């Protein structure tokens, strides 16, 4: 654990397992409520001086961190592949993606503008400023061990906030490496703290602590709801990036090859373990066979294996529970009439990319988040039908539409109840754009100037002359 610029241990340890080979590769301290509170002490103490630095001074330190991360991206990538499983090139790509939040927010921190408001009383002047909220608690998932941390910590620190971070227990090593580089970059003690350990004890202590003014979480909707309820006791600001169930719509006017490649990118990134992965595919009946053949041809090119091997596209899932969930959805779909066109074989934590056809909305994979390499394809007939079916879910994070017909594409995009729409684009996530969901996919946005607002309080100053 990295608290107040110090590396701390604990009596108990948490084992870190390489999902590719199911072997323990490291242990990290199992912190609890005591360490959690110590981290808040440090962050609270550091807040005064850190928030009084100029945005330019904070930006310089963030960019020093950025440069060290960039210089070490291969090493960080290897750490990530070994603890999370994603192929090395994809892991290095995530480090670059994670770093883009640091560089983007280092600059954005210099643009936290206020405003003056014309007074209705000539003897008054009205001002509005935006100030850092204070100590931020960030709780992050295992599927993007670097990006889900910097997507929170970069805007928090750039705005003048300080942070306490609890990474997923499955993937703490990446977080600790990022902390080591932050220390080396000269980010002052207490500004960034990383506590590894029992999530309920660590997060529980943070949620009860009134000094923590903001909680930002990425993970399951189930845990997001727990945190939202806990936040109410001390009225913390809340940002939640939760589960998804993305529809992927291929219309009669789609560029078939572009759609097939777009689905490969959306569905099989991180072996299907992202909250914005296509989870159900709706293909217009008129192009069903043509699209399925094009998609299967692309799937055949995917290589499954240990992420450290060159040329591997699909690594292992995070653990056996994840494999069992995919297997369960596959068996359920088959029992309800789905045809397995290819894939779905399992060995250890590996699952070969599966393509299902003859799918109906009653199958579990069309309702529950898969978080694995399973592509269920169903057909639709009208635009009205597909919008209705695509929206028939409690989730609302990402959706995809492939159509070369402008008015059709706009009509569907506008009709979808989702925070992110990939229009002829299977990979929409970038640092400069707002990422977040409608409905039970979350609250708030990360990325872009919207993502900075999550760490700011608006203050109105009325000056009597």
Ligand X SMILES: NC(=O)C1=CN([C@@H]2O[C@H](COP(=O)(O)OP(=O)(O)OC[C@H]3O[C@@H](n4cnc5c(N)ncnc54)[C@H](OP(=O)(O)O)[C@@H]3O)[C@@H](O)[C@H]2O)C=CC1
User: Applying CB under 6 A, which residues contact ligand X?
Assistant: 139-143, 166, 168-170, 199-200, 203, 218-220, 223, 226, 241-244, 275, 369, 371, 397, 442
The partner in contact with residue 429, picked from ligand LO4QSZO4, ligand X, none with C-beta cut-offs of 5 to 8 angstroms by kind, is ligand LO4QSZO4
The partner in contact with residue 438, picked from ligand X, ligand LO4QSZO4, none with C-beta cut-offs of 5 to 8 angstroms by kind, is none
Nearer to ligand X, 200 or 381 (CB): 200
The partner in contact with residue 426, picked from ligand LO4QSZO4, ligand X, none with C-beta cut-offs of 5 to 8 angstroms by kind, is none
**Residues 248 and 284 sit within 8 Å (Cβ to Cβ):** no
Taking the C-alpha atoms of residue 304 and residue 346, their distance in angstroms, rounded to an integer, is 11
**Residues 54 and 106 sit within 8 Å (Cβ to Cβ):** no
Minimum distance of ligand LO4QSZO4 from residue 275's CB (angstroms): 4
**Smallest Cα–Cα separation from 303: which of 362, 343, 275?**
343
Nearer to ligand X, 244 or 353 (CB): 244
**Residues 253 and 175 sit within 8 Å (Cβ to Cβ):** no
Site string for ligand LO4QSZO4, 295-334 (x = CB under 6 A): ----------------------------------------
Rule CB under 6 A: say whether 275 interacts with ligand LO4QSZO4.
yes
Nearer to ligand X, 254 or 398 (CB): 398
Nearer to ligand X, 112 or 317 (CB): 317
Cβ neighbors of 397 (< 8 A, separation 6 or more) are 242, 243, 244, 245, 246, 275, 276, 418, 419, 420, 436, 437, 438, 441, 442
Site string for ligand LO4QSZO4, 235-274 (x = CB under 6 A): ------x--------------------------------x
Interactions with ligand LO4QSZO4, residue window 115-174 (CB under 6 A)? 141, 143-144, 147-148
Nearer to ligand LO4QSZO4, 279 or 429 (CB): 429
**Neighbouring C-beta atoms of residue 261, cutoff 10 Å:** 16
- Helix (H) or strand (E) segment spanning residue 157: helix 147-159
Parallel, antiparallel or unpaired: strands 124-132 and 456-464: antiparallel
- Given 108, 161, 275, 341, the catalytic residue: 275
Minimum distance of ligand X from residue 141's CB (angstroms): 3
Minimum distance of ligand X from residue 119's CB (angstroms): 42
Cβ neighbors of 134 (< 8 A, separation 6 or more) are 44, 47, 161, 162, 211, 212, 213, 214
Nearer to ligand X, 43 or 409 (CB): 43
The partner in contact with residue 397, picked from ligand LO4QSZO4, ligand X, none with C-beta cut-offs of 5 to 8 angstroms by kind, is ligand X
Cβ neighbors of 385 (< 8 A, separation 6 or more) are none
The partner in contact with residue 168, picked from ligand X, ligand LO4QSZO4, none with C-beta cut-offs of 5 to 8 angstroms by kind, is ligand X
Catalytic: 115? no
- Given 241, 369, 440, 446, the catalytic residue: 241
**Neighbouring C-beta atoms of residue 131, cutoff 10 Å:** 16
Taking the C-alpha atoms of residue 7 and residue 12, their distance in angstroms, rounded to an integer, is 15
Nearer to ligand X, 166 or 237 (CB): 166
Catalytic: 241? yes
Rule CB under 6 A: say whether 435 interacts with ligand LO4QSZO4.
yes
370 phi and psi, to 5 degrees?
Answer: -85, -45
**Residues 14 and 196 sit within 8 Å (Cβ to Cβ):** yes
The partner in contact with residue 179, picked from ligand X, ligand LO4QSZO4, none with C-beta cut-offs of 5 to 8 angstroms by kind, is none
182 phi and psi, to 5 degrees?
Answer: -65, -40
Minimum distance of ligand LO4QSZO4 from residue 57's CB (angstroms): 29
Minimum distance of ligand X from residue 413's CB (angstroms): 20
Segments of 300-447 assigned E as strands: 339-342, 346-347, 350-351, 354-357, 374-380, 398-402, 420-423, 442-443
The partner in contact with residue 219, picked from ligand LO4QSZO4, ligand X, none with C-beta cut-offs of 5 to 8 angstroms by kind, is ligand X
**Smallest Cα–Cα separation from 306: which of 110, 92, 83, 21?**
21
The partner in contact with residue 369, picked from ligand LO4QSZO4, ligand X, none with C-beta cut-offs of 5 to 8 angstroms by kind, is ligand X
**Residues 412 and 249 sit within 8 Å (Cβ to Cβ):** yes
The partner in contact with residue 203, picked from ligand X, ligand LO4QSZO4, none with C-beta cut-offs of 5 to 8 angstroms by kind, is ligand X
386-403 exposure pattern, b = at least 16 Cβ within 10 A, e = fewer: bbebbbebebbbbbbbbb
| Cα separation values, 399 from 147, 245, 412, 430, Å | 21, 8, 10, 16
Parallel, antiparallel or unpaired: strands 237-241 and 442-443: antiparallel
Given candidates 276, 375, 443, 456, which one binds ligand LO4QSZO4 under the rule CB under 6 A? 276
Nearer to ligand X, 209 or 298 (CB): 209
Residues annotated as part of the active site: 241, 275
Residues that bind ligand LO4QSZO4 (CB under 6 A): 141, 143-144, 147-148, 218, 241, 274-276, 429, 435
């Amino acid at each position: 654990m990295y608290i107040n610029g110090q590396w701390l241990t604990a009596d108990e340890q948490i084992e870190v397992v390489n999902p590719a080979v199911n072997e323990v590769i490291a242990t990290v301290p199992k912190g609890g409520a005591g360490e959690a509170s110590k981290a808040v002490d440090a962050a609270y103490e550091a807040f005064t001086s850190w928030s009084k630095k100029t945005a330019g001074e904070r930006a310089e330190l963030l960019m020093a961190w950025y440069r060290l991360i960039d210089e070490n991206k291969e090493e960080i990538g290897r750490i990530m592949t070994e603890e999370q499983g994603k192929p090395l090139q994809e892991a290095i790509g995530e480090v670059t993606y994670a770093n883009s939040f640091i560089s983007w927010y280092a600059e954005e921190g210099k643009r936290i503008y206020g405003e003056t408001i014309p007074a209705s009383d000539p003897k008054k002047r009205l001002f509005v400023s935006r100030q850092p909220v204070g100590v931020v608690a960030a709780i992050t998932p295992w599927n993007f061990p670097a990006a889900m941390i910097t997507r929170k910590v970069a805007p928090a620190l750039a705005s003048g906030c300080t942070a306490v971070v609890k990474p997923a227990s499955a993937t703490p090593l990446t977080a600790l490496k990022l902390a080591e580089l932050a220390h080396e970059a000269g980010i002052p003690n207490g500004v960034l703290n990383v506590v590894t350990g029992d999530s309920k004890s660590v997060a529980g202590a943070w949620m009860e602590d009134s000094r923590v003014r903001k909680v930002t979480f990425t993970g399951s909707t189930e845990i997001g709801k727990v945190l939202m309820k806990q936040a109410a006791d001390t009225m913390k600001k809340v940002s939640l990036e939760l589960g998804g169930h993305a529809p992927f719509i291929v219309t009669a006017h789609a560029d078939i090859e572009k759609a097939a490649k777009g689905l490969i990118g959306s569905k099989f990134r991180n072996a299907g373990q992202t909250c914005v992965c296509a989870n159900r595919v709706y293909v217009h009946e008129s192009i069903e066979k043509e699209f399925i053949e094009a998609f299967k041809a692309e799937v055949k090119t995917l290589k499954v294996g240990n992420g450290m091997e060159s040329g591997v596209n699909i690594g292992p899932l995070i653990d056996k529970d994840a494999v069992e969930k995919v297997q369960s959805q596959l068996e359920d779909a088959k029992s309800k009439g789905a045809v397995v066109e290819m894939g779905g074989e399992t060995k250890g934590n590996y699952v070969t990319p599966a393509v299902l056809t003859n799918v109906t909305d009653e199958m579990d994979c069309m309702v529950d988040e898969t978080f694995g390499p399973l592509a269920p394809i169903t057909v639709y007939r009208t635009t009205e039908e597909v919008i209705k079916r695509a929206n028939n879910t409690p989730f609302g994070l990402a959706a995809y539409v492939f159509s070369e017909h402008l008015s059709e594409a706009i009509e569907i995009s506008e009709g979808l109840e989702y925070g992110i729409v990939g229009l002829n684009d299977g990979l929409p996530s970038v640092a400069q754009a707002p990422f977040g969901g409608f409905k039970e996919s979350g609250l708030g946005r990360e990325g872009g100037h919207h993502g900075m607002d999550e760490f700011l309080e608006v203050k109105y100053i009325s000056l009597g002359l």
